[in-house]
C-alpha cells in the first residue's frame, strides 16, 4: 500500500451517456446503474458489471422504504451527470457532464463539483484536522506505530489511520450532503486537492475543482444523503448504519489502564489508592501482560492465581476488570485454543492454502477469518467461556489487522482463502467486534456489554466503541484528538475517546492536567500509558495535579445523568454526543464556526474550550448563538454571538453552560462511582434578565441490564417558563416503570417568584461544586 499515491483521474475512462435501458455508457461497454430512493432523503447508486460484481462489504443498513417525507430529488442526466435538486427544482449539488463515473480496470471513482464555499468533514478516524478542503486521504486500516516511521508518528499526521469509514460530509451554501461509499476495499477521497510533484511544486488539474470518492477495487456503491442541517444529516446517517446500543453506566465512568497492570495485586492496589485519594473510578484495565505468554483467552497463573474469583470480586466492588483481547492465536500444538481453531478450520489462509502466519506478541500467530460465519461462531464460543469468569467488557486491540513484519497481503479470506486480502482488511476489526459481542451476550444474556475496538468500519458502532489508537504524550496529540473525535462521531461512531495523558513516551504533570481538563467529558474517558513510561495515575505527580484531575473527573460523575441521557438520545435518534460548534449553531457575521477545532460541545448544553498547549496564558473562546452562556469559573453570564478572551488557570478550564438548558446532575457528592439515576438535581440554566420557555426529557433506569429494552425505565418531563423575575416549573414523571423520579431543582439566579406545578416555593441558599468551582445556587426540594 503506497499511502502517498492515489488513482489519477487522467488514467480513467468516464461514462459519456446514461439511459434507463443501458445504464452508463463507457467508450467500449455499458454498465448497469441501479438508482434507488429511500426515506430520510437517502439515495443509492450502484454500478454493476465486469470486475465490479464483487461487493465484499458486510455493512448492514436500515433502509426506510417510505419516501413520502423526502424533500430532495436526485436526477441523472443523459450526459451521465448527477444533480441533487430541491422540490422547487433548484440545483443544490451536482457532478460533471461526462466526467462523473470513472473506471480504470478494477478501480472506480465518482466526481462531484467542488465550490469554494463548500466545507468538508467526516471520513472516520483521521489525524489530518477538522476540515478537509485540499486533502487527499485513503481508507485502509493501519497499525499506525508499525506502519509509519516513528518520527512521523510523534508529531506528524499519519494517514490512513485505524478506522476506515469512506464517508465525506459536504456543507454547501444551502444544504448538508453525505457521500458514503459502501466499499470495503482500499478506498480513497480527493477533495479539491492539488497535485504535488516530488513535494516541490504543484500542477493544476480539473481534479482541483472536484470532490472525488472511489476505490482501487470492488463494486461502486454510493449512498447520497441530504439534509437541511448537520444534526439532521447525522441522525439520518446514524439511523442508516445503526445507532450505538445503550451502554452500561459503568462504561461512561472513568477508566484506568496501563501496559504493566497484569496481576491481582495491581487491581487491589488500584482499588485501594482510588478510595484513599477520594477519586471515583469504574473500570480497571489489563493490557497484554495478564495473559499466559500472550495466549488469548488465558491468564498467567502466577500473576492471577484465581481469575474467576478475582474478576467477580472486583465486579462486586463496582470495578469491572476490562482485559485486552487480541485476535491473534499463538501457534502452539499444546495450546487448546489453537488446537480447536485448527480442528474447526477457521484460520485465515495464505495463497498456498495453508494457515497464514503473522508475527505479533505471541510470536508465530494464526488469525481467525471473521469474514466467515463459522469462524465468528467459533470465536464467540471462546469469548463466552472466557467472559463467564466475571468479565463484562473488553478492549479489542491489534485488529487492523496487525500482523507484524509479515505482509498482510498474504492473508486471505473466505473458504479456502479464495478472497484476496483487500476484500476484508478494513472490516477485520468490525468482524472481530461482532463475534466478540455475540460471545459476551451469550455469557451474560441480561447484561449490557461494553466493548471498545481499535479498528472499525461502516456501522461498527453497533458492536463496539472506538478509541483513537496509540497516541503520544505531547500537545500535538492532545490538540489533534479533538478533531479526530469530532469527525469520528460525525461518521457514525459517537462513543469514542483518546488515551488521556498519552500512551507512548513520558507525560508530565502539566500535560496530564491539561489533557484531563480537555477529555473529562469525552464519551470514552480512559487514562492509559505505555510500559516503561513514567506512571501517570492521577496521584503520580503532585498534590495539585491530583486535585485538578480529581475535580474534573468528579465533574464527569456529577454530570453522569446528563451524559447518560446523551447516550439515550443517540440510541433512539442517532443524536451526536461530542459535537462541533456548527452542529447546533450557524455562522454569523461575528462568528465563523467552520474551522474551529479547539472548542466543542458536549451535547446541546455544554461548551468546552480547553487550553491545548503548554505556554499560552490566554485564549479566545467562541460563544455561538444569540443566547447567553454561563461561565463556570467566574459564575457570570456572558452574551453569545461573540468571541471572548479568557486567562489560563492552573486549576480551572473554560466551561460554559448554554442558557435555556436543564442539566440533570448527580445529587450526591461524587466520591465514588455508585449512581442512582433517580436521585438527581435539575440545574436550571436561566437568568432573570431574559424571557424563555423550554422543555427537557430525562430517563432513569438501572444502568446495567437489558430490562430497559423491555420498557423498564422512568421518564421525567420538565418545562421551564420564565419572564423576568418570575419562574414557573412544570415537572411530571410521564413513565414510572423504574420508579418515581423526584428531582431537586437548582437555580443559578434568584427569582422573586418561583412556582412548581402550580405551587409557590421558596428556594434556599446552597452551593454547587463543578470542576473545582463553587457556584452559589438556590435549591428547591419538592
Which pLDDT score, from 0 to 100, does residue 689 have?
Answer: 87
Q: Please tell me whether residues 199 and 308 are part of one structural domain.
A: no
Positions of E strands within 313-398? 321-325, 329-330, 358-360, 363-366, 393-396
Whole-angstrom distance, CA of residue 743 vs CA of residue 738: 15
Q: Please tell me whether residues 737 and 632 are part of one structural domain.
A: yes
**Would you say residue 180 has pLDDT above 60?**
yes
Q: Please tell me whether residues 502 and 581 are part of one structural domain.
A: no
Is residue 524 included in any domain, yes or no? Answer: no
CA distances 274 to 280, 304, 365, 487, 540, Å, are 7, 21, 37, 33, 12
Residue with cell 488514467: 11
Whole-angstrom distance, CA of residue 351 vs CA of residue 418: 9
Q: Is 774 helix (H, G, I), strand (E, B) or coil?
A: strand
Residue 205 belongs to a domain with what CATH number? 2.60.40.1760
Give the confidence band of 477 by pLDDT, cuts at 50, 70, 90: very high
Which pLDDT score, from 0 to 100, does residue 54 have?
Answer: 75
Q: Please tell me whether residues 232 and 306 are part of one structural domain.
A: no
pLDDT in tens, 562-613: 999 999 999 999 999 999 999 999 999 999 999 999 999 999 999 999 999 9
pLDDT in tens, 543-559: 999 999 999 999 999 99
Q: Please tell me whether residues 221 and 264 are part of one structural domain.
A: no
Indicate the average pLDDT of the chain: 96
Give the confidence band of 23 by pLDDT, cuts at 50, 70, 90: very high
Q: Please tell me whether residues 217 and 256 are part of one structural domain.
A: no
Q: Give mean pLDDT, residues 421-443.
A: 98
pLDDT in tens, 357-371: 999 999 999 999 999
Residue 384 belongs to a domain with what CATH number? 3.20.20.80
**Would you say residue 200 has pLDDT above 90?**
no
Is residue 129 included in any domain, yes or no? Answer: no
pLDDT above 90 covers a percentage of the chain that reads 93
Is residue 76 included in any domain, yes or no? Answer: yes
**Would you say residue 119 has pLDDT above 60?**
yes
Q: Give mean pLDDT, residues 619-632.
A: 97
Q: Give mean pLDDT, residues 437-445.
A: 98
Which pLDDT score, from 0 to 100, does residue 428 have?
Answer: 98
Which pLDDT score, from 0 to 100, does residue 199 have?
Answer: 72
Q: Please tell me whether residues 185 and 295 are part of one structural domain.
A: no
DSSP letter at 104? E
Residue with cell 455508457: 25
Q: Give mean pLDDT, residues 65-70.
A: 90
Distance spanning both ends of the chain, measured CA to CA: 64
Is residue 137 included in any domain, yes or no? Answer: no
Question: What is the DSSP secondary-structure string of 131-181?
Answer: --TTEEEEE----HHHHS-HHHHHHS--SS-SB---EEEEE-SS-EEEEEE
Per the structure, the count of domains in the chain is 3
Q: Please tell me whether residues 644 and 728 are part of one structural domain.
A: yes
Q: Please tell me whether residues 194 and 340 are part of one structural domain.
A: no
Is residue 546 included in any domain, yes or no? Answer: no
pLDDT in tens, 251-281: 999 999 999 999 999 999 999 999 999 999 9
Q: Please tell me whether residues 265 and 405 are part of one structural domain.
A: yes
Which secondary structure element, helix H or strand E, spans residue 544, and what is its range?
helix 543-558
Q: Please tell me whether residues 209 and 330 are part of one structural domain.
A: no
**Would you say residue 1 has pLDDT above 80?**
no
Among 91-100, 354-363, 466-475, 663-672, name the one with the lowest average pLDDT: 663-672
Give the confidence band of 52 by pLDDT, cuts at 50, 70, 90: confident
pLDDT in tens, 499-542: 999 999 999 999 999 999 999 999 999 999 999 999 999 999 99
Q: Give mean pLDDT, residues 105-132.
A: 97
Which pLDDT score, from 0 to 100, does residue 398 have?
Answer: 98
pTM to 2 decimal places: 0.97
Whole-angstrom distance, CA of residue 169 vs CA of residue 150: 31
Is residue 143 included in any domain, yes or no? Answer: no
Q: Please tell me whether residues 372 and 460 are part of one structural domain.
A: yes
Residue 776 belongs to a domain with what CATH number? 2.60.40.1180
Is residue 633 included in any domain, yes or no? Answer: yes
pLDDT in tens, 703-761: 999 999 999 999 999 999 999 899 999 999 999 999 999 999 999 999 999 999 999 99
Final residue before a domain boundary, out of 185, 216, 241: 241
Q: Which residue range is the domain that position 106 belongs to?
A: 9-123+165-241
Is residue 516 included in any domain, yes or no? Answer: no
Amino acid at each position: 500500500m503506497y499511502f502517498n499515491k492515489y488513482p489519477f483521474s487522467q488514467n480513467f475512462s468516464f461514462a459519456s451517456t446514461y439511459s434507463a435501458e443501458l445504464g452508463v455508457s463507457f467508450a467500449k461497454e455499458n454498465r448497469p446503474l441501479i438508482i434507488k430512493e429511500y426515506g430520510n432523503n437517502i439515495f443509492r447508486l450502484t454500478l454493476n458489471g465486469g470486475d465490479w460484481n464483487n461487493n465484499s462489504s458486510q455493512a448492514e443498513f436500515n433502509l426506510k422504504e417510505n419516501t413520502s417525507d423526502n424533500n430532495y430529488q436526485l436526477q441523472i442526466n443523459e450526459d451521465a451527470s448527477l444533480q441533487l435538486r430541491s422540490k422547487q427544482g433548484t440545483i443544490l449539488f451536482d457532478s460533471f457532464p461526462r466526467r462523473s463515473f470513472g473506471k480504470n480496470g478494477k478501480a472506480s471513482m465518482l466526481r462531484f463539483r467542488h465550490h469554494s464555499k463548500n466545507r468538508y468533514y467526516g471520513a472516520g478516524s483521521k489525524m489530518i484536522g477538522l476540515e478537509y478542503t485540499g486533502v487527499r486521504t485513503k481508507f485502509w486500516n493501519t497499525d499506525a506505530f508499525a506502519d509509519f516511521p516513528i518520527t512521523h508518528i510523534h508529531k506528524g499526521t499519519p494517514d490512513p489511520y485505524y478506522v476506515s469509514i469512506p464517508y465525506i460530509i459536504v456543507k454547501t451554501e444551502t444544504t448538508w450532503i453525505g457521500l458514503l461509499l459502501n466499499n470495503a476495499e482500499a478506498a480513497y477521497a480527493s477533495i479539491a486537492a492539488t497535485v504535488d510533484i516530488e513535494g516541490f511544486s504543484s500542477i493544476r488539474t480539473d481534479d482541483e475543482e472536484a470532490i472525488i470518492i472511489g476505490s482501487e477495487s470492488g463494486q461502486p456503491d454510493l449512498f447520497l444523503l441530504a439534509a437541511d442541517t448537520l444534526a439532521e444529516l447525522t441522525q439520518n446517517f446514524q439511523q442508516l448504519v445503526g445507532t450505538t446500543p445503550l451502554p452500561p453506566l459503568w462504561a461512561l465512568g472513568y477508566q484506568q489502564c496501563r501496559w504493566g497492570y497484569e496481576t491481582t495485586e495491581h487491581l487491589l492496589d488500584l482499588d485501594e489508592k482510588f478510595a484513599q485519594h477520594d477519586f471515583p473510578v469504574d473500570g480497571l484495565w489489563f493490557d497484554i501482560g495478564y495473559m499466559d505468554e500472550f495466549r488469548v483467552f488465558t491468564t498467567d497463573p502466577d500473576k492471577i492465581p484465581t481469575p474467576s474469583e478475582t474478576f467477580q470480586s472486583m465486579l462486586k466492588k463496582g470495578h469491572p476488570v476490562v482485559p485486552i483481547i487480541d485476535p491473534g492465536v499463538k501457534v502452539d500444538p499444546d495450546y487448546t485454543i489453537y488446537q480447536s481453531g485448527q480442528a474447526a478450520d477457521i484460520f485465515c489462509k495464505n495463497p498456498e492454502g495453508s494457515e497464514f502466519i503473522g508475527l505479533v506478541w505471541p510470536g508465530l500467530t494464526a488469525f481467525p477469518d471473521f469474514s466467515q460465519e463459522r469462524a465468528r461462531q467459533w470465536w464467540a464460543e471462546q469469548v463466552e467461556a472466557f467472559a463467564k469468569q466475571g468479565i463484562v467488557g473488553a478492549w479489542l486491540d491489534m485488529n487492523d489487522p496487525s500482523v507484524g513484519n509479515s505482509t498482510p497481503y498474504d492473508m486471505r479470506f473466505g473458504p479456502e482463502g479464495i478472497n484476496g486480502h483487500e476484500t476484508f482488511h478494513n472490516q477485520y476489526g468490525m468482524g472481530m467486534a461482532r463475534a466478540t459481542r455475540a460471545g459476551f451476550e451469550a455469557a451474560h444474556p441480561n447484561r449490557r456489554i461494553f466493548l471498545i475496538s481499535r479498528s472499525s468500519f461502516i456501522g461498527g458502532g453497533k458492536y463496539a466503541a472506538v478509541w483513537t489508537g496509540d497516541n503520544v504524550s505531547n500537545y500535538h496529540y492532545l490538540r489533534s484528538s479533538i478533531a479526530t473525535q469530532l469527525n469520528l462521531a460525525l461518521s457514525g461512531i459517537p462513543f469514542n475517546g483518546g488515551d488521556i495523558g498519552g500512551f507512548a513516551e513520558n507525560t508530565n504533570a502539566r500535560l496530564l492536567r491539561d489533557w484531563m481538563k480537555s477529555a473529562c467529558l469525552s464519551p470514552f474517558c480512559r487514562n492509559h500509558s505505555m510500559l516503561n513510561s513514567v506512571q501517570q495515575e492521577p496521584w503520580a505527580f503532585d498534590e495539585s495535579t491530583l486535585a485538578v484531575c480529581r475535580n474534573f473527573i468528579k465533574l464527569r460523575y456529577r454530570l453522569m445523568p446528563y451524559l447518560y441521557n446523551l447516550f439515550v438520545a443517540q440510541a433512539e435518534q442517532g443524536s451526536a454526543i461530542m459535537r462541533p460548534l456548527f452542529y447546533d449553531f450557524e455562522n454569523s457575521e461575528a462568528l465563523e464556526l467552520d474551522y474551529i477545532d479547539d472548542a466543542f460541545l458536549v451535547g446541546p448544553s455544554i461548551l468546552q474550550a480547553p487550553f491545548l498547549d503548554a505556554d499560552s496564558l490566554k485564549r479566545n473562546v467562541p460563544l455561538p448563538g444569540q443566547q447567553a452562556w454561563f461561565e463556570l469559573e467566574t459564575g457570570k453570564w456572558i452574551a453569545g454571538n461573540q468571541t471572548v478572551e479568557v486567562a489560563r488557570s492552573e486549576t480551572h478550564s473554560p466551561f460554559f453552560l448554554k442558557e435555556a438548558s436543564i442539566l440533570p446532575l448527580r445529587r450526591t457528592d461524587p466520591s465514588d462511582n455508585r449512581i442512582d439515576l433517580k436521585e438527581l438535581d435539575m440545574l436550571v440554566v436561566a437568568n432573570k434578565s431574559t424571557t424563555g420557555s423550554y422543555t427537557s426529557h430525562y430517563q432513569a433506569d438501572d444502568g446495567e441490564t437489558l430490562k430497559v429494552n423491555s420498557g423498564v425505565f422512568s421518564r421525567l418531563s420538565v418545562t421551564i417558563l420564565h419572564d423576568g423575575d418570575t419562574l414557573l416549573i412544570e415537572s411530571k414523571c410521564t413513565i414510572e416503570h423504574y420508579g418515581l423520579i423526584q428531582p431537586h431543582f437548582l437555580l443559578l439566579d434568584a427569582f422573586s417568584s418561583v412556582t412548581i406545578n402550580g405551587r409557590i416555593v421558596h428556594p434556599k441558599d446552597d452551593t454547587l461544586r463543578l470542576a473545582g468551582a463553587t457556584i452559589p445556587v438556590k435549591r428547591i426540594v419538592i
